[in-house]
């Protein structure tokens, strides 16, 4: 693992060389970390060719600790961190992949520096208006506050985001322990910001690179209508609903996920 200083904040990231023939940046979702991409990266390493793959932690998660309050949670800042990282590594022609809230960060990156990117994959992504709550906001925030205090409760909630997950498996236990060590301001703060005044709909027509939107048919976190709206709003996008999968195909079946990625990239 390495660190990059972005405007005074240390960003932890993992870089793998000669990993397939593409330059790829993976952006994890909320209450997650770069480790959620490791199974997919292991599959990519079996591909021939020379490329660089990076998975990075956004501020507050994994190795990128230091968020103390909700006021420090800003998705444009997170996007800028990763743009700075790519530029420091001298990477261009990057294929960008974002999961869940990481999809919003990916879209913000593309809107800021479109020339850096070859394509975009949104995996069960939040939409252009952030998170649309189906319950009263106070109730939702109370749920995430409980997650920050009750380890067993938090573990059960996180496991439910991975269809078929065995909460006692060593793989999940490792992922969960990393999330449990996240900056506590992130638990409520991210949801508070996501359900606030975010709205990038007027700019989505500026995303002109080829875009693949993947959505698990059994996603219990984000509804299919979110993916359908993104497909309608992003000009050169295609939408594929993945049968038999939930919110986190990258963990549920990393080999099938990589097959979707490489099939899309080879079609460009």
We report the CATH number of the domain holding residue 91 as 3.40.50.1820
DSSP 11: E
State the total domains in the chain: 1
Domain extent at residue 162 = 2-266
Q: What is the pLDDT of residue 253?
A: 98
The pLDDT-based confidence of 48 (bands split at 50, 70, 90) is confident
Residue 21 has pLDDT above 90, yes or no: no
Using alpha carbons, list the distances in angstroms from residue 104 to 5, 79, 176, 228, 230.
22, 9, 23, 15, 11
Residue 121 dihedral angles phi and psi, to the nearest 5°: -120, 125
Q: What is the pLDDT of residues 98-133, one digit of tens each?
A: 999 999 999 999 999 999 999 999 999 999 999 989
DSSP 127: B
How many whole angstroms separate alpha carbon 230 and alpha carbon 212?
10
CB 225 within 8 A of CB 129: no
SS3 assignment, position 199:
coil
């Amino acid at each position: 693992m390495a660190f990059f200083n972005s405007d005074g904040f240390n960003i932890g990231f993992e870089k793998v060389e000669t990993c397939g023939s593409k330059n790829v940046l993976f952006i994890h979702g909320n209450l997650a970390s770069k480790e959620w991409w490791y199974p997919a990266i292991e599959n990519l390493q079996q591909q021939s060719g020379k490329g660089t793959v990076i998975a990075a932690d956004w501020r507050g998660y994994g190795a990128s600790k230091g968020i103390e309050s909700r006021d420090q949670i800003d998705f444009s800042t997170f996007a800028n961190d990763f743009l700075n990282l790519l530029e420091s590594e001298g990477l261009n022609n990057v294929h960008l992949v974002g999961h869940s809230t990481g999809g919003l960060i990916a879209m913000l990156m593309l809107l800021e520096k479109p020339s850096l990117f070859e394509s975009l994959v949104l995996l069960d992504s939040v939409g252009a208006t952030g998170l649309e709550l189906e319950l009263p906001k106070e109730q939702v925030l109370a749920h995430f506050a409980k997650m920050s205090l009750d380890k067993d409760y938090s573990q059960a909630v996180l496991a439910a985001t991975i269809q078929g997950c065995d909460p006692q498996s060593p793989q999940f236990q490792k992922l969960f322990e990393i999330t449990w060590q996240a900056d506590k301001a992130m638990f409520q703060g991210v949801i508070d910001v996501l359900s606030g005044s975010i709205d990038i709909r007027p700019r989505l027509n500026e995303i002109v690179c080829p875009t693949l939107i993947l959505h698990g048919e059994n996603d219990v976190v984000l509804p299919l209508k979110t993916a359908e709206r993104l497909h309608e709003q992003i000009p050169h996008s295609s939408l594929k609903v993945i049968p038999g999968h939930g919110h986190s195909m990258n963990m549920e079946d990393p080999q099938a996920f990589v097959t979707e990625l490489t099939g899309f990239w080879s079609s460009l």
